[in-house]
Amino acid sequence: MKKLVASLSAGALVLAGLSNSALASPPTAPPRHPTAVGFGGAVASVDPDATNIGLDVLRRGGNAVDAAVATAAALGVTEPYSAGIGGGGYFVYYNAKKHKVFTIDGRETAPATMPSDAFIDQRTGKPYAFADAVTSGVSIGVPGTLATWDSALKQWGSLPLGKALEPAADLAERGFVVDPTFHLQTMENKARFAQVVPTAKLFLPNGDAPQVGTLFKNPELAATYKLISRKGASVFYRGPLAGEMAAVAQNPPKTADATLPFYPGYLHTGDLASYKAIDRTPTKVRYDGLDVYGMPPSSSGGITVGEALNILQPQHLGQLSTTQALHTYLEASALAFADRGAYIGDPAYVDVPQKELLSKGFGAERSCLIDPQHAATKPVPAGSPDGKYSPCAKGSAAEQRPDTEGRSTTHLVAADKWGNVVSYTLTIEQTGGSGITVPGRGFLLNNELTDFSFAPVPTDPNTVAGGKRPRSSMSPTIVLRGSKPYLALGSPGGSTIITTVLQTLTNRVDRGMTLPEAIAAPRASQRNTASVTAEQSFIDTYGAALAPYGHTFTPAGAPGSSAAEIGAVAALEFLPGGAILAAAEPTRRGGGAAGVAWPR
């Protein structure tokens, strides 16, 4: 242990020295490799700096949990609009010694004093406009990311939190090379960032987005990481830093000429002091001889992916043509999303029928509703997970509420030479979160509370309540064959995370694609809506063939915008003979970064 810590510290010093000598020449971004095969462990994420930091931890003797936390902390530097200590997430871990999967729920919580009508304009009685609620204090939940890191390391890591943060602190101090994705995301948020004093100062130097190819440094975040390294996670949840987070949530630091309303929030220091990351039992379904483990509520990811797989199991997807398989996938997804909306919420506040939603009987009952030749009229009603199942039961009518989950977020996977595996999705919600940077601390606060339903409805499992965790779609997934890892995967993308993970799994398991092919394939997301949200490449390739079934398609976003893409998968496959295939996106979000400790 002491040897590993000393080695990591020495590595940080070497990196610092290299960064000083490199200032004389133009900065160079590390190469991106979407796939890698080898031994000794692996890491995949959306960013090469972050992936390389995780790999360095593995090479120096760290385990998968150490590497995952170090990688996540680095993503807080290079992907500050998608993740960071101002947000939350879900950590899924396979312990090789125990042959068992564990999870940590690090989801943000609503402040204790937040009322059920917090998103209702008291002057009009109508919900706030979504765009106005995003950039506000009312959208800020109690962050859970740092508590997640601390809990994971204490339970399963070999490094203390401070040492796991050192490489990311050095990266923030020496800087990273701005890529087109970081520049595009800054430009897409420029109008609102410019209205928040500390955010404009940090992310709009000289009034504009950092240019591609330049070096972006965040010494404030470096100092925050170092503070946490010295004093532990408690310094984040108690004391001056907690007071600063509460202050900006209650009174957002807007500019004098700001045009956004900046509704004040409810976050108090007591909310931060009482926050806990929760260990939960993972979801599990059996699919094609594999055990698929996911994240239980407060995330809807594990249940919805698992139910969809149970719906697909009787359909024998691998025996269908490409068009029939895609039609069936879209229909199964719509049925699972209907049940997600009707039944899933924070289990501390909602009686979630998880066992029945994931039962084979309920899956078969829902599967029977799929017409092999015709798409059902959307939205389809929710089913009745009551333990009494009959073929093709129609279910009950349920209101289809609007989807407000942000399409940002980030995901990473890590494995070590001992066979431990991590699949971890973390976020600050919208790209750029709330848009509110904690002054002098270098990180953005989340806008996760916009994941709640804005209008309070007694029958809605996702209505606002003080202390409640908003429903999420994050779906970090680990798949076992026998008792050993076969796949680990996940993605960003709001509620499209669920369909991205489901589509990638079925691409790999049922449709004969390699893991890189399964990730690169065009995506479509049917979330129980009249039209299917799809990437333009999916529409171009499959739209005409699926039209006779009754499917219609809406492009995911304007061409060239970050919204035009669905998801950004990072995944691992464990090969015969002990090798690992690490895979990330070849092009989405600028291409991901996969690596192994020792290439084959």
- Alpha-carbon torsion (50, 53, 59, 61), positive or negative: negative
**Using the 8-state DSSP alphabet, how is residue 359 labeled?**
-
409 is catalytic: yes
Shortest CA distance to 469 belongs to which of 493, 448, 445?
448
SS3 569: coil
What are the φ/ψ torsions at residue 8 (nearest 5 degrees)? -65, -40
CA 90 to chain centre: 8
Q: For 56, phi and psi rounded to 5 degrees?
A: -60, -40
Q: How far is CA 491 from the centre of its chain?
A: 6
Per-residue CA distances from 38 to 320, 392, 405, 483, 594 (Å) = 34, 47, 36, 21, 11
Spatial CA neighbour of 267 closest among 241, 240, 247, 239? 247
Q: Which residues of 121-141 are buried (b: 16+ CB within 10 A; e: fewer)?
A: eeeeeebbeeebbbbbbbbbb
For residue 574, the number of C-alpha atoms closer than 13 Å in the C-beta half-sphere is 25
- The catalytic position among 51, 404, 409, 437 is 409
DSSP output for 114-162: --TTTTB-TTTSSBPPHHHHHSSSTTPPBP-HHHHHHHHHHHH-SS-HH
Contact 293, 423 (CB under 8 A): no
Neighbour-count burial of 321, counting CB atoms closer than 10 A to its CB (0-12 exposed, 13-18 middle, 19+ buried): exposed
User: Under a CB-based contact definition with an 8 Å cutoff, are residues 263 and 135 in contact?
Assistant: no
Are 558 and 488 in contact by the 8 Å Cβ rule? The answer is no
| Alpha-helical runs (H) found in 299-350 | 301-312, 322-343
Q: Are strands 410-416 and 278-280 parallel, antiparallel or unpaired?
A: unpaired
Burial 335-370 (b: 16+ CB within 10 A, else e): bbbbbbbbbbbbbebbebbbebbbbeebbbbbbebb
Question: What's the CA gap between 116 and 268, in Å, rounded?
Answer: 17
Taking the C-alpha atoms of residue 457 and residue 435, their distance in angstroms, rounded to an integer, is 28
Rounded distance between C-alpha atoms, residue 428 and residue 81, angstroms: 7
What string of H, E and C letters represents the secondary structure of 66-119? HHHHHHHHHHHHHCCCCCCCCCEEEEEEEECCCCEEEEEEECCECCCCCCCCCC
Residue 444: CB atoms within 10 Å: 32
- Which residues does the annotation mark as catalytic? 409
